[in-house]
Each structure stands twice: as C-alpha cells, then as structure tokens.
Structure 1
Amino acid sequence: MIRLQQRPLLGLLVNPFGKTAKALELNGDLLQITKGRHTRSLLLETVTAAPVVRKGTFGAMLTIAYDSGGDVVLKGAAKADAAAFSETFRNAWICFNRTAFDKDASRFDRIHAGVRALAHPARYPAACQIAPLLNDARALDASLLSKLQPEAIGADAPRRIAIVQQFASDAQTERSKSIAAFVDAELDRWRDFFDTVESQPLTPEQRLSVVVDEDATLVLAGAGSGKTSVITAKAAYLLKAGIREPEEILLLAFAKNAAEEMSERVEARSGVPIVARTFHALAYDIIGIVEGSKPALADHATDDMAFSNLIKQILKDLVHRLSDVSQAIIQFFAHFLVEPKTEWDFKTKHDFYTHMESQDLRTLQGEKVKSYEELQIANWLYENGVEYEYEPIYEHKIPETGRRDYQPDFHLTESGIYIEHFGVRRQKVADGSERLVTAPFVEREPYLAGMEWKRQVHADHETILIETYSYERQEGRLLTGLAEKLAPHVTLKPRPADTIYDQIVELNQVDDFSKLLGTFLRKYKSGGYSLDDCEAKSDRMKLGKRAKAFLDVFAPVFEEYEKRLEGRIDFEDMILRAAHYAETGRYVSPFRHILIDEFQDISQSRARLVKALKAQQPDARIFAVGDDWQSIFRFAGSDIHLMRQFGAEFGGTFDNASGVHRTVDLGRTFRSVDQIAFAARTFVLRNPAQIEKQVIPAGTATEPAINIVAVPRAEDERKLSDVLAALSTGSNTDAKPASVLLLGRYRFNEPRMHELRRRFPQLQISFKTIHASKGLQADHVILLNADSGRIGFPSGIVDDPLLSLVSPEEEAFENAEERRVMYVAMTRAKYTLTLLASHSRPSSFVTELRKDPAYDIAAAPDAEPDVHVCGECGGRLLGVTGKDGRIWYRCEHVQHCGNLLLACPSCGTALPRKAEGMTEVRCGCGASYPSCPDCTDGWLVERKGRYGGFLGCVRYPTCVGKAKIATSKRPTTAKPRRRKRP
C-alpha cells in the first residue's frame, strides 16, 4: 500500500475549494481517492495510461487518466513523493494488465490463430464455422481486450490484439476476403479434378458451385445447364477433400430413378458408395428407426390415379350417405365450380368473351350458356326439377323486323313460362331516383330498347314472361327472387342429390374437381394448415362465397380421407412424422451435408424435414440445386415460395444478420441454341417474381429455330405430318436418326404414334406430356395443340385461386405456373422448336411469341392468320373456309359474338375494310363498297325487297343497315350470291 497527499499549506493555495484530490492511496488493484470529506474508489482496469507528474510553482501535480473520460488530479504534492507514487502505481498498472492478458493468453492465442487463418483458410469459411470465432472474439474484446492498455502490455501484444479487434468490428468484410481467398486457391488446387470428374470439364460456374460451401447454398441450374454433374461433383469433392465421411452426406432426390442415377454417378466419380434417397425413402427409414418398424403405406400413396379415384369415391359416398354434405357438394358443382365473374367484371366485350371461353359454363343439364348468371338460373331450375329449354326459338312467328329469330333465354316446357335474364343494374342518380345501367361495354339505350321489345312481344302474343336482373344477384336474391316469381306458375320437384351427382359424373365434371380437391388436400396436410387458417386467408383475399362453398366440401372429404387411411400413412404423413421425430430429437441425424436435387419441387413438409435435420448439427450445410423457372408441380404440393425465399427459409446467421446464404448461377446451357435459349428466358421472366438468371446458349442457330404453324380446323394430323416430313427430309440418313419429341399439355394430345413412326422411319419420334418431359431433350421439339380454351394451353383449370388458401404466397401473375410449363416445353429442344397452334384459337402464349419483337421469332408464311379487329367486340376476325368453299371472316368468339362477313365478292379471299376518315369500304384487290351506316364492319350490297332494289348490309340479318341505290354509287362488283353459313 502506498499513499500520496497534498502538503497542507500548498493545498490551501492550489485547491482552496476541494475540487481536486487531497489524497491518493493504492491498495492492490484499487485506487482510493479522497476529496474533501468524501472518498471514492477506482479500479486499475479502468485506468487508460500511466500516471504523469509535472512540476509546478506550488509543488508537483500528478494526473491519472481513466476510461470515463475524466482525470484524477492531485496538486501540491512533494515532488519526490509524487515521483515515488507514480512509479509504484505505474508498475502495479502494468502488472495488472499483463496478468489479465496472461490469464486469458491461451484463449486469445486460439482466437488470434483462428482470425489469422482466415487469410489462408483450409476450409470454406461458412457462417456456421466463423460465427463461433466471431462470438468468442467479441466476448474477449468486451471483457478484456478493449480494457487493456497498449503501453502496459508490451510491443508485440497490441499488434496481435489489433488483428482480433479488426475482425470483431468488421467481421463481414473479413469473412468476404477469406471466402475470396479460399475460392481462388481451391479452384486452382482442384483444377485437375474439375477437368476430369465428368466426361467434359466443368464450366467455371459449375466449379464455383462445388467449392462454395455456405450454410445454405442455392445453385440456380437452368434447363440443360448440367445440374446432375454439379451435384455429383459436389459429393465426390466432399469425400476426396476429406471434408466429410460418406455417412455424413445425405443425397436427396424426388424420384426413385433420379436417386438411383445419382448414387451410381457419385460412386463412379468418387469410388465411395453413397446411396441417394428420395424424401419418402428417407422419411420411411427415420420412422422405422424411431418406432422399431415401418407402418403400412396407403395403396394410393404411390399411384396418382388411385389417389384421384379415392377422392372421387369419397365424394360419391358422401353424396349418398350424408344429406348435409351432399347438399354442399351439389351446391358447389351447381354454382361455384367456375369463378363467379360476370360481364360487370370486365371493361371490354373481348375480355369478357375471352374469360367465358376459358370457363366451362356447362349447366347440370349439359348445355353451355353464355354467362355465369344464366348458369346459376339454369342449375337452379335443374336442381328443382323444373324442365326447361335453353334459348329455344320463340313459339310464335315474329313479323319481319330484320332481326334474327327471337330466342328467349329459357322456356319452361311444362308451364310454358319464358324467362329472360337482363344484364342491368340499378344506379342512383343526383335527384335520388334510380335508373338501369348496363355493363361497361354494353350500349345502354339499345339494350334497354331490346328489353322493351321483348316485353312487347310477350304482351302481343299473351305469353308469360318472368324477368330476372343482374342487380338481383348483386343484392344476393337472384334465385330466391326467381323462386317467388315462379311460385304461382310452377311446382318445384327437387331432384335427389344422388341423381344430380350422377348427372355431374356423366358430364365429366367430377374428374377436374377431384384433382383440385386432391391438390388442395396434399398442400393442406404438408403445410400443416387448419380450416381456420384457410377461412381467415379467404377473408383476407376476399375470395367470397366460392371459397366458403369449397371449404364446406373439403372439410368432410378430408375427414373421410383420414378415416380411410385406417392406420396406414400417406406420403404427407410420412414426411411430417419423420420431421417431428427429427425436431424433437427422437431421431439423431448423422448428416452434416444435405445435397438436394430438383429443389424447385420441394414442398412445405419436405422443407420442414430438411430444416429439422440441419438444426441437429451446428455445422450442417444445405446444398440445393434447382431452377425456379421449372417449378411445375404445384398440384403435387411443390411450393415455389421456398426457393424464392431460400435464404430466409434455410440460411444461417452471422454478425447479427439472418438468412445468410450463397447463390450460384450456372447460366450456361449445354442444350439449346441461342434463339431458343434467349426466347425461353425472355418468356419466363415476364413474371417478375421469377429469379433472374443469365443464359449462355449451347450454340448459334444458322436458320430460324422457332417456328409457329397455324393449323386450320380438323387439319392437325396433316400439319403435323408436314412438319415431320420437312424434318425427315433435312435429316442425315447416314448419321444417327434425329430425335423428335412431340409434347402435349395433356395425355389426350398424343397422336397416333405407331402410324407416325411407320411413315417417318428416319426420325426417332416420341411423345410425352410436358410435365413428364422434364429432364429430357431432343434435337427437335413439336408442341401440339397450342390452343386457347379451358383445356388448352395455358390451361384454364390449373391456377385455381382456391389453391392460394394453402400456399404461403399467392402468385399474382396471370398463368404463372402455366408460363413455367411453357418454358419447360421450349427448353427441351436443342435445334428447333415448332408450335402447332389453331388458326382461329391460338394460345395466348403463341400470340405473345408471335407478336412481341423481344422474342425475335420469324414466323412461317402461314403462321400469321389474316387477322382483322372485330368491330362488334374487339376480338379478331379470322378467315375460314365454309362448306360451300367460299372464304368467310368470322369472329374468334363465335359462341358469343357471331360477327360473320363474306370475303370480298370481287376477289373472294380478302376482307374489305373501312379506313379512318373514309365513307367507303375498300378491299386490297381494289374493289370498293359503300360502308354500312349501322355497323362498323359491314358494307352495302344490292338486295331485292318488296318495293324493289336497295342497298343492304352484307351482315344481314345481324345488321339491318340499308340505303337507297344511287346510280353513281353502285358497288364496283356484282351482287354476291345468297349467303350460306359455314
């Protein structure tokens, strides 16, 4: 113990108010400071510098700095006493720092060595490897290093401490430098391995993906980019580099044959047998280990057809057994099978008609109707046993009006009642009154006039007309109101539920609904959803009554499905049970590297299992190879959200950041030439939610690689034969036969393969659905039936909004999954891709490829139909050959619009059109005609009437536009022959 104090007389001069210390006393590691009557203590560890002694006029002054930013000052001390105290204090302070440093020397040396090793890492500095080092460095810095004073611990220690502190303060930068150093060195070290591990040397991108070894690594492997080579090389590298033992590596694939191929390739490349497994095989093994035996697997687990049949059987049994459930099922089929959209949801006729054509608006009686509200009425009539005809010709002949034969919407055959459904709603006006308004694209005044005309017809002929209105549906009373209006005239005889259901089966409506139910069920189970979850999400998404009606059916179907498992398990149960065992530690995972193929197909339940396995080992890594552009198995439970949010779902943590992962883009394709590769990339990236990737094509096309062939009605076989004949002619008969892959969106698209193979022996022809073609390639690909419609391509039945209830995020982009299906189809082709599309109803995908210059596709001469805009609805007027051999131009929306024009009477092929600002309609052949005063597309031709000749619209009787014959204005061509419909 040593003490220093002011000399009494000097103290009065230099410290009259007691603001500085009167006395200092060092006792071990504690400095006692006396000011006036108060004493406080200061630890040596807070002192930031050795004491400083200065000679003054009134004695010596000693100053000691400490970490709060202040100084301890004592003035008026004897110089010798101050010097002695300072020396003793300095030695104690140095001793204290060195002792503290020596005490944690081994810990510091270990951390220092770890940080130094980052400059030349022997292993990839993954977050899970470096995070413990960072935590130790920061803990030591906080407890010791930040408190040590450089001048107290010697010359070398501060330099070494600075290295550790630099890492602790900027770990992200230091780890990034370490990663770059490791990757450069490792690529060089394993150059020979990368050159020889596969039949062809790995690309730079493939090599990078192998040596990168983050907590979670996602390899974006586009079509034909060699993903199998990457995952094979990764496994072999881990073994050869001594990073992992065989039992620590888990290879996962989705299909059994893919797992077998992976196992064979890894053993061949590494010399070590590693068995790749499917998710289900792994899960089954885990269950067996934990439970001691494996439970029986449900018969339908491995058979999609059996699964679909089971759902259909459950529906049928519920209809026959439970009245309340049967009512819910019938209600869904009758009123919610299709999206309940009406003309009020669209701005143009063309948009409305296009939507209607994508929906199967088929009533329970079997006829197709023209609107959703008509469908509701028709199905209500059928449910209640009211016999009706849809759009029959009115029983009384209407005097010549220029109109088509009058066809009321419905005729009740037993009572003779007619029903007209009017597309009008009520609107409040400024004075408080109401007026009737029509849909956005319907002219109000002519429509209201048509309503009055129909009322007058029934009044004149004394037939009973019941009217229904769109505003009644809007107000939720369309069907109850109809029941009230019919009550005086009709006795309802409700059909039994099983009778209605048998009719639904007869109409083939159960199959698609069963697939929807099956897809929903699998996603519901694998995602761990509840009915409350689905109902809440339905409210958020405003899916309305259709979602409620669906859940009313799904709930009893799911309950019955679970009962019928009878102790057996399906694949969803299998994965979830295994995940639970891994999460709770009942299964102890040996896996420290999990390699997953086709990662874009992962489901919520599979992801849960992977996360549980990874969580068991602190340094476990996930290496996922996939392509979100090829995620096309939503119906089987795959969830593209998991790949798009890869880091958040599977990544590690480092330096207070979560979701740490690495993404490597393979980019290079070994399959498709540039025109196909770039067009496919552009096409799929129209959806901004897809992960952007670069594409390096396999070669350069020397001639157009993508061809679009327009197929006239009933000429599918002929056009396909023409394409195959051209490919056969160009095939080198001395070499291996060119492979031709015919692709269809559905199995029923398959042509007569035996006949095609017999006719074109020079070609190696095969057929696959697009889904089944994944992973395949061919020299030439022909996409069949690229047409629009509910069972066209894009399919109108795949992306049902109801599936969003069991998906983490909704895919807002229209036809999102179908666009990826199209990408898969395009990228099967190496040299040429041919799309066979209906001349009159081409797929919207084909139209996009044809019209958008971004795709750089040179269409074949017959690929672009002679298209004109329909003046009635905004659709397309397409040329067709009628039964009489003449050319007619018909609106593409033939079921709704019916606009029909005969080709120019002069040339017989082209369509006369009216140019802006002109009063005449002109044809490309030079002929001209007076334009019709009443319609957009028509022109006037000479006709005979009871009062002689006149000019009438070529569209008569659809249009009754007319004019007097002016001698100087006669058409430049002869009057056309009597029109015959095609």
Structure 2
Amino acid sequence: MAVPVMWRGTTPHGEDWVLVRRDEGFTLRHGPDEIHIPASGADRISVTRRWWRTTVNVAGVPERAGVLHGLSGDEGRRLEEAVQEALSGSLAAWTERLSTAIETSRRDLRWITEEEVTALLSTRPSIADGEPAVVGHASGAGPLWLTEEGTRRWVRTVNDDVAAAVIQSRRSFFDTVESSPLTDEQARAVVTYDNRVNVIAAAGSGKTSVMVARAAYAVSRELARPEEIVLLAFNKDAATELQTRIQRRFTAAGLPAQGVEATTFHAFGLKIIGQATGRKPTVAPWLTNNDELGILSQIVAELKAADPRFRHAWDWFRLLLFTRPEEDFAEPSAPDAWDPVRRATGYRAMDGTSVKSEGERWVANFLYLHGVTYEYERPYPHDTADAEHRQYHPDFYYPDIDVWHEHWGLDANGNPHPGWTDYLEGVAWKRQLHREHGTTLVETTWAEVMEGDGLSRLEKELVGHGIRLDWDPDRPPVRGVKVVTDADMLRLVRTFMLHVKANSLDRLEVERRLGAGLVRNRRRASIFLDLYWPIHDAWQVRLAAGGYVDFEDMLVQAADHLESGRYVSPYRLVMVDELQDASQARARLTRALVAQPGRHLLAVGDDWQSINRFAGADLSVVTGFHDQFGPGPTVHLTKTFRCHQSITDTAASFVRKNPAQLRKTVVSVHDRPADPAAREGVQLRTVPSAAEVPRAIGDFLTQLRDAIREGVIAAESVSVDVLGRYHQDRGLMPREAPPGIHLAFRTIHSAKGLEADYVVIPNLSAGSYAFPSRIADDSVLALAMTGGDAYPHAEERRLFYVALTRARRGVLLISPEHNPSPFVTELVQDGLVRGVGPRPVATPCPGCRVGVLRPRSGRTGHFWGCSTFPACTYTCNTVPLPGERPSKTMSTARRPPF
C-alpha cells in the first residue's frame, strides 16, 4: 500500500482538521468526526468561499454538509489547495497504476481482461469541473483522454497489439496445435483471453479447432491447469469428439491432457448434484429411452379416466381450439377450400362444409362434434331483395328449432375489418329483419369465438332453445379433412414443459405472464394451462416415486448448488459448444460456473443454425450473449472450410432475410474457379410427383459416378447424404447406389454437425409433411419462453440453411413441379438456384410469390393458376417471364373461371 499523504490545519474554533489521501481514497477528520470518501468519488469534496469565510462540503452527504465552516480566508485557501493537491495526486496515482498494468501486459504479452478494467475503473477518481485528465499514450499515438470510454479504448488497443504479438511469436504453436494450421481469425479467437468471449462461428469454420487450441493455449501459458478446464457440449457425440481431440492434440504438443474434461451439460449436471449432495441422481428411464411422449400419453389417459371434466377439456381444446392459434383478425389465414356451388374459396370444416372464415369453421366444427343439424347460408324465408340489398342468406340455420345464427366479423371493440365498408349497416339491417319477421337470431362474433368464450356461450344458447347436444370427440371428419391428434397435443405439452422447467417457472409466474398479455387469446391459453398443470404435477410425481430427475430439473438443481455455494466450481476456463442450442437452464448453469472472479468463458455458436427450439433451445442465449453472461469481446469465424462459395452465398442470402439474426459474412476457402466443383452450387430438379423422386436421385448418383470415371471429379469416391425433413422421407431413397458413391439417409436435425461431398434434399413440397413444416409454434408457448422469432418460418429457414451447408461440393433440391415448397419459389425468384433435369423449373406466381403457375382448364378454356389455390386465386392467360409485370392479357380475378 502506498504511503499516505497528509495535510493539516486549524479551524477558527481551535479544532484541528486533517486531510489524508491514500490510494483507496480520502479521509477528512476534524475533531471527533471522520468522513471517508473513495477515490472514485473524490470530486464530492468542494471548497466554497463567501466573503471572508470558507466552507468545506462533501456532496452526497447532506448530514455532513458544511463539515468545516467559518474558516478564515488564509486557512480556507490552505485547505482548498490541499484538496486540489489531493485530487491531482489521486488521479496521478491512478494513472500510474493504469500505465503499470498496460506496461506489464505489453511486456508479458498478457491480455487485459474486462474484470481487470472494471476493477481499475472502480478506483478511478472522478474528474472535477468536467475536465478529463490527459496522459501520454503508451503506444506513442499521442495523448489519451482518460474518460471511462477513453480508458477502454486504450485497453482495446493494447489488447489488439498483444494479440498480434502473441500470434506472431507463437506461430509455430498455432501451426501445429491442430492437424491443420489455424487461420489468423481462429488464432485471434484463441488468444482473446477475456472473461467473456463470444465466438460466432460460420458453418464449417473450425469451431472445434478453436476450442481445442484454446485449452492447449491456456495450459501452455499457465493460464489454467488441465483440471481447471471444462468443455460443455450439447450431445454425447460432440463431447466424445472434443475429448478425443483434446487427448490427441495435447499429446502431439507435449502438453498434459489429464484432467481436461469434455462432457455434456446433462452429465456435468449429474456430477455437480452428486458431489453437492453425496447422492448422484438417476435420469428417468423413459427419457433415456426417448419415450417421454409415451409416459405423457399414460398420464393423460389416467387423468381422463379419473376426471370427466379433464377429458372433455382435453378433447375440446384438441378439436376446437388447437387449430390456427395464430389467427389474426386484421390478417386472416388463407382459405384452403373451393366451393363450386357458391363459386368461392373458403375454409373446410370437419363435416366437409366450406365456410367463409376461420371463425365460421370453428363454429361449424363445434356444431358437427355436438351432432347439431344445421344448414349453411340457407336463404331467409322472407323476400329481402330491394334496390339496396340482395336476398338475405344468414350464416347458419338450425331446422330442428327454427333458429337462425349470424357470426359477425367483429373484433373485441365491435369493429369490423378496416377494409369492410358498410359492414355495421349490414349488421343493423339483418337484426332489423329478424325483429320485423319475428324470427329468432343467435349471434356470435369473431372476437368471442377466436379470443373468448363464444363457443361456450353458444352451447348454452342452443340448449336454451331446445337443441340436444351430443358431444362425440370421436366423430370422424369427412375424407381429406385432418384433425389434431392426441400425439399433436402431447408434443405441445412436452415443448411447453421443457420451457417451463428450463426457465424455472411456477404457476404464479406463468399466470403473471398470462395477465401481462403475452398471448392474445387469454381464454384459450387459460384452458391449456388448466390441462397442463395436472400433467406437470403427475410428471413430477412419477419422477419422485422412482427417485428420478429429468434433464431440465437436473440442470436447474445443478445451478442451484453452484449459486448457493454447496458446490464450488474448480474451473477457471469454461468453454461451451453450440451455444445456439442452449436453453435458459444451460445458460444459468454456465453463468453460475463463471460467477467467481478470475473465471473465463468462451462460447462458440451460430445463431443461423439454431434449430432446436422444440427441445428448449433459446435463440436469445447467443444473440443476447453479453446480456446473458456479461461484457466482453465478440470474435467472428467467417471462413468456412466445408462449402464452396456458391453454396455459401446461396445459403447465406436465404437465411439472412430473418431480421432477428446476427449479421455476418461467410467466405469459403475453396473459391477456386478452376475447380469444376466450385461451379456446382445449389441445383433444382422438378419432378411430376413424389413417386419420381427415387429416380431423380438415382440419375444424380449416376451422373456423379460418370464424373468420377471421366476425371471431372478428382476423387475415387464421393459421399452423398439424402437429408429429409421427416423420418418418412427415407422412403424416397433409391434402392442402391452406384460404385464409388457412399449414400446415407439422415433427417436434417440429425445431420447437424456432419458433412458430405453432396447433399440431396428430396421432398421440398408445400403439402402435408411440407418443408417448411406447416406446424407453427403455438401461441401459448409465449407464456413459457423468454422470446420468440416472429419472422415467418424463421426456424424452418435456419433448418434449411443447416441442410444446405452440410455439403462440401454441391446440393440437389428435388421439388414437385406443381406443388413446390415456398422456399423453392423464393430461391427461384432470387436467382439462387440453377434448374437441372428434363423438366423446366416452374414460374413463381406473381400474385402471392409463394406458389408457382401451373396449367389449368375451365369453362373458358386453358389458363394458368397458382399452385397454392385456393389460398391464392391469381390467374393469367400467359406465363410471365421472371420479373415481368402482369400484362393486360393477365387476370387477377379473385375466383378462377370454372
């Protein structure tokens, strides 16, 4: 500690005053009183003069204001000089400490961490009168204004210089620590040895090499001992690869690897709980056997058998409330049916009736499931046509009770859609008709049915009018109409449970979120929660009965032990792989691991590859890294060693349209125009039907075989992965592959982290089991998640990006020509794919830009219509060229002419 500096004086009343400066601050004593002011608050001392009297004040200490007053002019000037000298000396001492830290960093080539900078700034004297101190810049770049930001800029410059010097001086280490020399950006990620480092790694950019080299660098420079290093991976295969690479590369570098631990989050959580409690828990066997939906099915069956109200609510939600939870009044969902009688698009109900809106479909399904006989848009029995009105056709008519039913398109405030003119006048006219003719009218509104308890109220009204309801959840829909199954419901429940547990939510917090308006349809969400919590409780009872834990509780309990101090982390260096797959529970465990001073976290991830939301992954963990873990540098790995630039450009152009993702550049190291593979890129082949997919794949494999034989591909064999969106896409595989072709099928989710020479995506369609998946995230998940991604098909777009970037040399997309995926249409419109094969690539629909134009014929002859009909009713007489505006011969009629 520095020797204290002291100034003395005497007040007019004979009291001695003493001002003492030490490195940690100031002490002002007079008589029995003593006030301590930290160095960072030195400007709180001020000396004021009025006439011949002087007063010493300490700002922010009102009870001590005017601690010395009435000093004579000479004594006041003496004290004022002492205060100014103390302030100046304190800043000089602090500046000297900063300069020493920087000189030491340059001498030892040691990174100055955020923790060290924060500690220095906490003792920095405040600068009086708004005048920042100026010191010489150690790099010779001139004076530096020592504001907080100036200090940080100075440290960043020093760290940049240190990193460059370390990379240069240890070039041999970085060239040999992995099997291939590290690039400059990989080496920079390794030597950026701050407390919190976020590495954004493009697909195929060598993130594993960075993690292995980081561990070796820490050991070689004695920044951490092997037993103080842990690497946390998302799954067992990744952890095993890391451990193998650590052992192999440490041995090659002559470094001790014993003690470096690479493990999964779940195995690590079990270890912490075991060491903290003395009893290592057992994971529930139905989880290790991937049978969690089976256990949930058993739980639901037991709850149904024990409580008829639960059974009714389950089927009510499944059949009436599950479908289209994202329905928006201002932007209604696209129609999915065509009514040839009314010659209009519509929404097909379970009984086959085509109705005009999603809300009417909910009503029609309610009536069908209750066995209610109704007629849709039956003409009103009284003549209503006049100069202003057509003949009246109410929405529903119940012949058994002679009651009419209107479903009004009104929101919660009683307002119609902004584009509907004279709608309220029409409502008033229809109501008046029923009053004049004495007919009975039942009314519902869009807001009541879609966002409230409109169906329950309708049930009571119909019973009151004499209808006998016969609820039968097993009543089969007409052919072609799909209903939500128990399995669909169970998947929603499981996803909700994953996020509830990962975020450590209880009933009170979920109810608070419900009240905060995180979901629009609060009644629907309330019904779901009434179903969810009994299932949740039964799940917990099963865990307790067997002495088991599930994966989410395990992570939360491990974090609890760390935060409470029951387990003290021995790790100085923590590295996390695939951060984009981390749940909030994993993020919490990671924060707890590095909460103590002197800990270092390096996390590697790519938000473009975040595809595991269904398993609890939270994209904000990587996009909001510094909010989650604290300030520090972000390092980008932009060079991919896997894909050629043509593939990289296509994949990046496609996925970066999502505005919620981090902007980044990806550059291939294989961009060699002389290499034929560099020109293969992403190709599209259209087929008449799914039955032709195996043949298309077979043709592609034959072309690869011929290219190998002719020397166009400079290899004796190549690998081809067929990547399906669903397991059932395996059925599209050809029976065998030609010699020299190593063929495998994988789902895209299971292919993450893998690569092949070529990738085939065999079923890019827009129908059932489509890609993008038509199963949207349910709105109730907002009650359990920290935040979502509102961009259309955001996660499916990332999944498609993952599929494209598994390929080293080329990608073949296969799509039905008349029912393509909207992803295919988008790629064609943007000029990002090249058509191959005997059939031409279809023209994207200018109307919706989602479907493609396909030939049709009707009463007026042949024409072209959109493949998404009836969702889009665009028609034209001739096919426009790409980018061409519809000509006068083209029609954009709402209904096709047949």
1:217 to 197, 212, 215: 197
Distance 2:46 2:775 in 1: 72
Amino acid at match of 2:190: V
Q: 1:550 to 1:789 in 2, by over 3 A?
A: farther
Q: Is the 8 A contact 1:369 1:375 kept in 2?
A: yes
Aligned partner of 2:529 in structure 1 is 551
Matched, 1:529 2:505: yes
Q: Is the 8 A contact 1:112 1:164 kept in 2?
A: no
1:380 to 366, 369, 372: 366
Deviation at 1:332, TM superposition (A): 0.8
TM-score by length of 1: 0.68
Aligned partner of 1:723 in structure 2 is 700
Q: 1:437 to 1:628 in 2, by over 3 A?
A: closer
Aligned partner of 2:611 in structure 1 is 632
Aligned partner of 1:892 in structure 2 is 867
Aligned partner of 2:725 in structure 1 is 745
SS, match of residue 781 in structure 1: strand
SS, match of residue 706 in structure 1: strand
1:493 to 465, 470, 478: 470
Matched, 1:310 2:295: yes
Aligned partner of 2:138 in structure 1 is none
Q: Calculate the aligned-residue CA RMSD, in Å.
A: 5.1
Deviation at 1:882, TM superposition (A): 9.4
Distance 2:458 2:52 in 1: 97
Aligned partner of 2:34 in structure 1 is none
Aligned partner of 1:338 in structure 2 is 323
Amino acid at match of 2:801: Y
Distance 1:862 1:500 in 2: 40
Cα offsets for 1:758-784 (capped at 9, x unmatched): 5x3342111111111101111211112
Deviation at 1:671, TM superposition (A): 0.9
SS, match of residue 720 in structure 2: strand
Q: 1:709 to 1:419 in 2, by over 3 A?
A: farther
Distance 2:825 2:845 in 1: 14
1:672 to 643, 665, 668: 643
Deviation at 1:441, TM superposition (A): 8.4
Distance 1:720 1:115 in 2: 62
Q: Is the 8 A contact 2:607 2:622 kept in 1?
A: yes
Deviation at 1:213, TM superposition (A): 0.8
Q: Is the 8 A contact 2:105 2:111 kept in 1?
A: no
Deviation at 1:845, TM superposition (A): 1.6
Stretch of structure 1 that moved more, 225-234 or 887-896: 887-896
Aligned partner of 2:752 in structure 1 is 774
Q: Is the 8 A contact 2:304 2:310 kept in 1?
A: yes
Matched, 1:195 2:162: no
Distance 2:51 2:19 in 1: 12
Instruction: Please show how residues 110-121 of structure 1 align to structure 2 within 5 Å.
Output: 113-121=100-108
SS, match of residue 252 in structure 1: strand
Q: Is the 8 A contact 1:111 1:137 kept in 2?
A: no
Q: 1:714 to 1:211 in 2, by over 3 A?
A: closer
Aligned partner of 1:950 in structure 2 is none
Cα offsets for 1:731-755 (capped at 9, x unmatched): 34783322111111111111354x4
Deviation at 1:552, TM superposition (A): 1.9
SS, match of residue 726 in structure 1: helix
Deviation at 1:369, TM superposition (A): 7.3
Stretch of structure 1 that moved more, 679-688 or 337-346: 337-346
SS, match of residue 635 in structure 2: strand
Aligned partner of 1:127 in structure 2 is 114
Deviation at 1:389, TM superposition (A): 9.9
Distance 2:308 2:790 in 1: 37
Q: Is the 8 A contact 1:409 1:419 kept in 2?
A: no
Amino acid at match of 2:817: H
Cα offsets for 1:644-692 (capped at 9, x unmatched): 11112112xxxxxxxx211110100001111110121122211122111
Q: 1:698 to 1:424 in 2, by over 3 A?
A: same
Amino acid at match of 1:277: T
Deviation at 1:728, TM superposition (A): 3.4
Matched, 1:573 2:562: no
Aligned partner of 1:706 in structure 2 is 682
Cα offsets for 1:107-166 (capped at 9, x unmatched): 999887445313434421112244445546659x99xxx9xxxxxxxxxxxxxxxx9996
Distance 1:486 1:169 in 2: 72
Aligned partner of 2:162 in structure 1 is 182
SS, match of residue 352 in structure 1: coil
TM-score by length of 2: 0.74
Q: Is the 8 A contact 1:742 1:766 kept in 2?
A: yes
Aligned partner of 2:27 in structure 1 is none
SS, match of residue 753 in structure 2: coil
Instruction: Please show how residues 453-464 of structure 1 align to structure 2 within 5 Å.
Output: none
Q: Is the 8 A contact 1:794 1:818 kept in 2?
A: yes
Q: Is the 8 A contact 1:757 1:763 kept in 2?
A: no
Cα offsets for 1:151-182 (capped at 9, x unmatched): xxxxxxxxxxxx99969995323322331232
Aligned partner of 1:864 in structure 2 is 841
Aligned partner of 1:796 in structure 2 is 774
Distance 2:569 2:798 in 1: 35
SS, match of residue 667 in structure 2: coil
Q: 1:729 to 1:417 in 2, by over 3 A?
A: farther
SS, match of residue 566 in structure 2: coil
Q: 1:790 to 1:645 in 2, by over 3 A?
A: farther
Matched, 1:612 2:583: no
Aligned partner of 2:830 in structure 1 is 852
Distance 1:897 1:30 in 2: 89
Q: Is the 8 A contact 1:334 1:376 kept in 2?
A: no
Matched, 1:818 2:796: yes
Deviation at 1:411, TM superposition (A): 9.9
Q: Is the 8 A contact 1:522 1:637 kept in 2?
A: yes
Matched, 1:353 2:338: no
Matched, 1:649 2:628: yes
Q: 1:875 to 1:343 in 2, by over 3 A?
A: farther
Distance 1:471 1:602 in 2: 39
Instruction: Please show how residues 246-325 of structure 1 align to structure 2 within 5 Å.
Output: 246-271=226-251, 272-273=257-258, 274-304=260-290, 306-325=291-310
Amino acid at match of 1:778: A
In the alignment of these two chains, the number of paired residues is 775
Q: Indicate the structure (1 or 2) with the bigger Cα radius of gyration.
A: 1
Distance 1:193 1:795 in 2: 47
Matched, 1:541 2:518: yes
Deviation at 1:200, TM superposition (A): 1.5
Structure 2: unaligned runs, 5 residues or longer: 1-5, 22-44, 54-73, 133-142, 252-256, 339-345, 379-392, 672-676
Matched, 1:688 2:688: no
Amino acid at match of 2:702: A
Cα offsets for 1:38-77 (capped at 9, x unmatched): 777665879xxxxxxxxxxxxxxxxxxx994889999xxx
SS, match of residue 540 in structure 1: coil
Distance 1:825 1:118 in 2: 44
Q: Is the 8 A contact 1:343 1:439 kept in 2?
A: no
SS, match of residue 757 in structure 1: coil
Cα offsets for 1:917-945 (capped at 9, x unmatched): 96xx69xxxxxxxx9xx97888xxxxxxx
Cα offsets for 1:690-709 (capped at 9, x unmatched): 11122111323653511122
Cα offsets for 1:773-816 (capped at 9, x unmatched): 10111121111211224631111214333222222123222222
Q: Is the 8 A contact 2:229 2:261 kept in 1?
A: no
Distance 2:447 2:705 in 1: 62
Aligned partner of 1:15 in structure 2 is none
Structure 1: unaligned runs, 5 residues or longer: 1-27, 47-65, 75-85, 147-162, 393-406, 429-433, 652-659, 923-930, 939-954, 959-982
Amino acid at match of 2:214: K
Aligned partner of 1:828 in structure 2 is 806
Aligned partner of 2:785 in structure 1 is 807
Aligned partner of 1:63 in structure 2 is none
Aligned partner of 1:329 in structure 2 is 314
Deviation at 1:378, TM superposition (A): 3.7
Aligned partner of 2:222 in structure 1 is 242
SS, match of residue 615 in structure 1: coil
SS, match of residue 175 in structure 2: helix
Aligned partner of 1:839 in structure 2 is 817
Cα offsets for 1:349-381 (capped at 9, x unmatched): xx623799xxx9886779997753344234323
